[in-house]
A and B are shown apart, each in its own frame.
Chain A
Amino acid sequence: MANINEATIDSLVELSRIRCSPEERKRLTHDLQKILAYIDQLNELDTDGVEPCCHVLEGTTNVFRPDLVGKILSRKTFLDNSPQHTGGLVRVPTVIKT
């Protein structure tokens, strides 16, 4: 079983960008440990040679649409929902150019 400790939580927090207080971190470590201990039961099953299920709609392939322009979202509607916007752009704090 994977060993979840606070370092694991730290890296998960970083990956998911969810900030947590130290108490929350402790609680989450404990919760995840418990859940993963339960999930460990999957190791009882021999799944060698079993095809993973990627889509429950078996055999469905090739869902396409024609190359046509359709209904556009108006800029006003889009920006009305955005917390900050300037000059038609969604506004965010300065970003280091990467």
Chain B
Amino acid sequence: MEWETVIGLEIHAELNTKSKLFSVAPNHFGDEPNTNISEVCTGQPGSLPVLNEEVVRKAVQFGCAINGRINHFSKFDRKSYFYPDSPRNFQITQYDQPIISGGVVFAEVEGTEQSFQVNRVHIEDDAGMLKHFSNFAGVDYNRAGVPLIEIVSEPCLHSPKEACSYAMAVKAILQYIDASDCNMEEGSLRFDANVSVRKKGEQALRNKIEIKNMNSFSFLELAIEAEVNRQIAFYEKDPHGKILQATYRWDPEKKETVLMRRKEKAEDYRYFPEPDLVPILLDEAYIQEIREALPELPLQRERRYVKELGLSSHQAFVLTYDKPLADYFETALDITPQAKALCNWLTVEFAGRFKESGKNLVASGIPASHVAELVVLIDNGTITGRIAKSVADDMVAHPARAPAAIVAANPDYQPVNDTGEIEKLVDQVLAENPQSITDFLSGRDKAFAFLVGQVMKMTRGKASPQVVNDLLNAKIKHAAK
């Protein structure tokens, strides 16, 4: 049975303004509870909301960046529900007239560039935070009233990988326009996925499950994967069954989606226009100004890397869709123009070294100039590629140490350049391995590699492989005569 996955992603991004959306309290994470509050964001009776102009600007910037339609007229609505983290027991959001409609996000999915449709983007205020203790809960309103943009995709994502790539691409755009800290651990970027499956060719959408609490990209992918499998298993067991709409959360320990609550009936939020606020009316001049002032966006940078630096599309995507990494790369590029080599060190060599620990190169404390220096040292023959790998290991262990210094301090890293020395070792290896010579001459290329390996072992990897190759070749040819 061929199943198709249908995913819609709702992304909530906290905007990094100085003050909150409707309140003049500071918009800042991590402070003592209930210290970044005002009468507005704690819902004091008699308080009134006043819209932060910077929020509108950042929302429009994002809308331009995804080529969405910036609606000239938009307004706010009250959304009623009761929860302790809500200071007024209604949220101020945009219901039927959001600031942005439509839009496209480009992302690379497993090597191929794809485009994904956005349905809408709207502005709303965040709720406070509930902290759970053994026999009570505590509410911190620091986060209440923080400005959010909610980015809603069309249900056009058809695999966990697509959802992940799309999410990363949205994050990259937000970072490039500096609209949000995009810190998933701190909660300034949050994802809710709506997941359903259907038979290939089926037109209608089946009931969807909402998944929350996925605060890393790998969790996002795993959670959706797990949920898709769960739904397929359900339908295969009960082909005419109906999945009841519900909300699940990702449990990283159990590695499965766990039921949070059922949606027996749709919540009646009783949306109606917010009477304490007046509508937003934007003109083309305002929008054009913002559009023209947009910085280089991820896709533009990707194209530039391919065109001007000769990187492959895949390499360019990997770099550019991680802004800190792309910035790091360009810092290194200022020192050496070896784009391909740098790219390899960043995205393969160092990335691999940090994978285990879950950290990353940019945050490691290794300056970009050091990576550039490493490439330069290889390029000018000071060290071999193999030695460079060991130097890289040392750099990871001691982020502050520059490669040149590491090489200078470790005699094992001094390359053996004395051809005479190497020649002696080549002679020795050839003398000790007559069978290999014979094997090679009768067509076994592996034997040659073995001989090279033996010489390299004796030089403890410090000889230039090229030099060893040339010498072995010359000597074997000479011996064959």
Contact = CB atoms under 8 A, between A and B. Distances in A.
Query: Most chain-B Cβ atoms within 10 A of its Cβ — which of A15, A67, A92, A95?
Result: A67
B135 A94 contact: yes
Contact of A95 (B56, B132, B268): B132
B300 to A, nearest CB: 27
Interface in A1-29: 15, 17
A59 to B, nearest CB: 9
A84 to B, nearest CB: 8
Given A75-B34, A78-B34, A61 B51 contact: no
A65 B37 contact: no
7 contacts: A17-B82, A63-B50, A65-B24, A65-B50, A68-B18, A72-B26, A95-B137
A43 interface: no
Contacts of B261: 98
Interface stretch (B151-159, B196-204, B271-279, B290-298): B271-279
B32 to A, nearest CB: 6
A55 B33 contact: no
A71 B20 CA distance: 12
Contacts of A91: 136-139
Binding site secondary structure of chain A: loop
Contacts of B33: 75, 87-89
A71 B138 contact: no
Contacts of B14: none
B36 A72 contact: yes
B32 A73 contact: no
B441 to A, nearest CB: 73
Contacts of A17: 82
B260 interface: yes
A88 B136 contact: no
B52 interface: yes
A14 to B, nearest CB: 10
A97 B130 CA distance: 9
Given A73-B25, A95-B132, 20 more contacts: A15-B268, A54-B273, A61-B279, A63-B50, A63-B277, A65-B24, A66-B53, A68-B24, A69-B25, A71-B38, A75-B37, A78-B34, A88-B33, A89-B139, A90-B34, A90-B141, A91-B137, A92-B137, A95-B130, A95-B137
Contacts of B279: 54-55, 61
B473 interface: no
Contacts of A68: 18-19, 24
B131 interface: yes
A-B pairs with the 4 shortest C-beta distances?
A89-B138, A70-B24, A67-B54, A64-B53
Interface of A: 15, 17, 54-55, 57, 60-73, 75, 78-79, 86-95, 97-98
Given A68-B24, A89-B34, A97 B260 contact: yes
Given A97-B132, A98-B261, A63 B278 contact: yes
Given A17-B82, A89-B139, A72 B34 contact: no
B35 interface: yes
B120 interface: no
Query: Most chain-B Cβ atoms within 10 A of its Cβ — which of A17, A60, A73, A88?
Result: A73
A52 to B, nearest CB: 9
Contact of B280 (A62, A67, A86, A95): A62
A69 B28 CA distance: 11
Interface in B335-358: none
Nearest to A70: B24
Contacts of A88: 32-35, 140
A64 B56 contact: yes
A90 B139 contact: yes
B17 interface: yes
A95 B53 CA distance: 35
A92 B83 CA distance: 11
Contacts of B405: none
A15 B56 CA distance: 32
